[in-house]
C-alpha cells in the first residue's frame, strides 16, 4: 500500500473521528426536537447536500454507470441498511436514557473493526499492534465489567457500523457517488415521515426559530461530512488502522460529557481511558516504525539504482 496514500487515508480517518467526536455539541443545540424527526431530516438533507456536491463535481455520468452495476448496488443497499440501523438504534438508545451504552458502543467499535479486518480481508497485525490491541481490549473490558451485564445496545451499535465499514471497503466506487446512493435508498421513507408529521401538525418546520431551522437543515452537512471522510479513508487504509483511529471519537465525546455536560467521570472511566490511550500510543509507534522502514527501503533501492 502506497505510503502517501496511506497517510492521506489516516488523515481522512482522523478528521472523520474528530467530527463525530464533537458532533454532540451540534445536537445539543437542537436537543428539544424529537430525535426521530432529527434522524429523518439528517437523511433527507444529507442526500440534498451530497447531490449538490455530485453536480458541482460533474459526476452525474458516473452515477448513471454505477446504478447499472448490480453488484455495487447490492453492496450499497446493504451499507444503507446498516448505517440506517445504526442511526436508528442510536436515537432509540438516547430516547430511552441509555446514553452510556452508546458511548461504550463506540469504544467497542474499533475492536470489532480490527477483528473484521483480520477476518474479511486477512489483515495481519505486527507485535506492536497486537500489544496495543490487548491494551485497548482491557480498557473496553473494564467498562463492560462496570455494567455487570452484556451491553447489547453497545454491541449492536458497534457491529452495525463495523459491517458498514466492511461494505464500504468492498465497494470500488467514488465516495461521493456511494453516499448519494446510500442516502438515496432511505431518503424516500424519511421524506414520507417528515411530510406525515407536518400534515398531522406534529412536524417542527414552521414551529421553531430561524436559527433552529437552519441548524436542522445543516444536519445534512453535519451527517454527510464525517461519512464522506470515513468513506475516503476506507478506500486507502486497512480496517485495522481505521479501527485504532476510531477511539478518537468516543474519547472526544467523553471529554465533552465531562467538561460541557458535566457528566460524572469515575475512577473506572479513568483507568479504562488510560488503557485505551496507551494502546493508541503503542500503535502510533508501530505505524511510525513501519513508515521509517518503508522510507529506508525505498531510499536503499534509489541509491542502488544510481
Range of the domain at 160: 3-127+150-248
Q: What is the pLDDT along the chain (306 residues), one digit of tens a residue?
A: 555 566 688 899 999 999 988 888 888 888 888 888 998 999 999 999 999 999 998 888 888 888 888 788 899 999 999 998 998 888 888 767 677 778 888 888 888 888 898 899 888 888 888 888 899 889 888 888 887 777 888 889 999 999 999 998 888 788 889 899 999 999 999 999 999 999 999 999 999 999 999 999 999 999 889 989 998 898 888 887 887 788 888 888 878 888 887 777 888 888 988 898 888 788 778 777 776 776 666 555 545 555
Q: Is residue 79 part of a domain?
A: yes
Q: Which of 245, 235, 249 is nearest to 283 (CA)?
A: 245
The predicted-structure confidence for 210-251, as pLDDT tens digits, reads as follows: 999 999 999 999 988 998 999 889 888 888 788 778 888 888
Query: Given this model, what pLDDT does residue 304 score?
Result: 56
Domain-embedded: residue 239: yes
Do the domain assignments include residue 264?
A: no
CA 212 from chain centre, in angstroms, equals 25
What is residue 247's predicted lDDT score, i.e. its pLDDT?
A: 83
Residue 215 · residue 29 · CB < 8 Å: yes
Please name the residues in contact with 216: beta carbons below 8 A apart, sequence gap of 6 or more. 30, 33, 38, 41, 45, 204, 205, 208
**Does some domain include residue 172?**
yes
Residue 109 lies in a domain: yes
Instruction: Determine, yes or no, domain membership for 120.
Output: yes
Residue 204: predicted pLDDT? 94
Task: Output the nine-digit C-alpha cell for 91.
Answer: 436515537
Confirm whether 232 is domain-assigned.
Answer: yes
Closest alpha carbon to 223 in 49, 33, 15: 49
In a domain, 78, yes or no: yes
Length of the chain: 306
Burial class (CB in 10 A: 0-12, 13-18, 19+), 36: middle
CA gap 31, 44 in Å, rounded: 19
Structural domains of the chain, count: 1
Residue 123 Cα to chain centre, angstroms: 20
DSSP 102-125: HHHHHHHHHHHHHHHHHHHS----
Mean pLDDT of the chain: 85
Q: Whole-angstrom Cα distance, residue 12 to residue 24?
A: 20
| Secondary-structure percent of the chain, ordered helix, strand, coil, rounded to 5 | 85, 0, 15
pLDDT for position 294: 67
Q: Tell me what pLDDT residue 234 has.
A: 86
Amino acid at each position: 500500500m502506497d505510503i502517501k496514500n496511506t497517510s492521506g487515508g489516516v488523515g481522512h480517518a482522523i478528521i472523520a473521528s474528530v467530527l463525530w467526536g464533537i458532533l454532540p455539541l451540534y445536537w445539543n443545540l437542537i436537543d428539544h426536537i424529537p430525535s426521530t424527526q432529527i434522524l429523518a431530516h439528517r437523511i433527507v438533507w444529507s442526500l440534498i447536500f451530497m447531490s449538490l456536491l455530485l453536480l458541482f463535481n460533474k459526476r452525474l455520468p458516473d452515477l448513471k454507470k454505477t446504478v447499472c452495476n448490480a453488484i455495487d448496488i447490492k453492496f450499497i443497499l446493504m451499507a444503507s441498511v446498516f448505517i440506517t440501523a445504526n442511526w436508528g438504534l442510536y436515537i432509540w438508545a438516547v430516547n430511552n436514557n441509555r446514553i452510556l451504552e452508546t458511548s461504550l458502543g463506540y469504544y467497542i467499535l474499533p475492536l470489532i473493526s480490527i477483528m473484521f479486518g483480520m477476518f474479511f480481508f486477512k489483515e495481519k497485525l505486527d507485535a506492536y499492534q497486537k500489544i496495543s490491541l490487548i491494551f485497548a481490549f482491557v480498557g473496553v473490558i473494564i467498562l463492560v465489567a462496570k455494567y455487570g451485564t452484556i451491553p447489547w445496545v453497545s454491541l449492536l451499535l458497534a457491529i452495525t457500523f463495523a459491517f458498514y465499514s466492511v461494505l464500504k471497503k468492498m465497494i470500488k466506487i467514488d465516495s461521493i457517488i456511494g453516499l448519494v446512493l446510500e442516502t438515496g435508498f432511505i431518503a424516500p421513507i424519511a421524506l414520507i415521515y417528515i411530510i406525515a408529521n407536518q400534515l398531522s401538525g406534529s412536524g417542527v418546520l414552521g414551529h421553531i426559530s430561524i436559527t433552529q431551522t437552519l441548524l436542522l437543515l445543516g444536519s445534512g452537512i453535519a451527517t454527510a461530512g464525517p461519512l464522506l471522510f470515513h468513506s475516503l479513508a476506507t478506500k486507502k487504509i486497512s480496517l485495522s488502522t481505521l479501527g485504532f483511529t476510531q477511539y478518537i471519537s468516543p474519547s472526544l465525546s467523553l471529554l465533552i460529557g465531562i467538561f460541557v455536560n458535566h457528566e460524572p467521570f469515575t475512577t473506572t472511566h479513568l483507568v479504562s481511558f488510560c488503557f485505551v490511550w496507551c494502546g493508541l500510543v503503542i500503535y502510533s509507534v508501530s505505524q511510525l516504525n513501519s513508515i521509517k522502514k518503508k522510507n529506508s527501503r525505498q531510499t536503499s533501492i534509489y541509491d542502488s539504482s544510481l
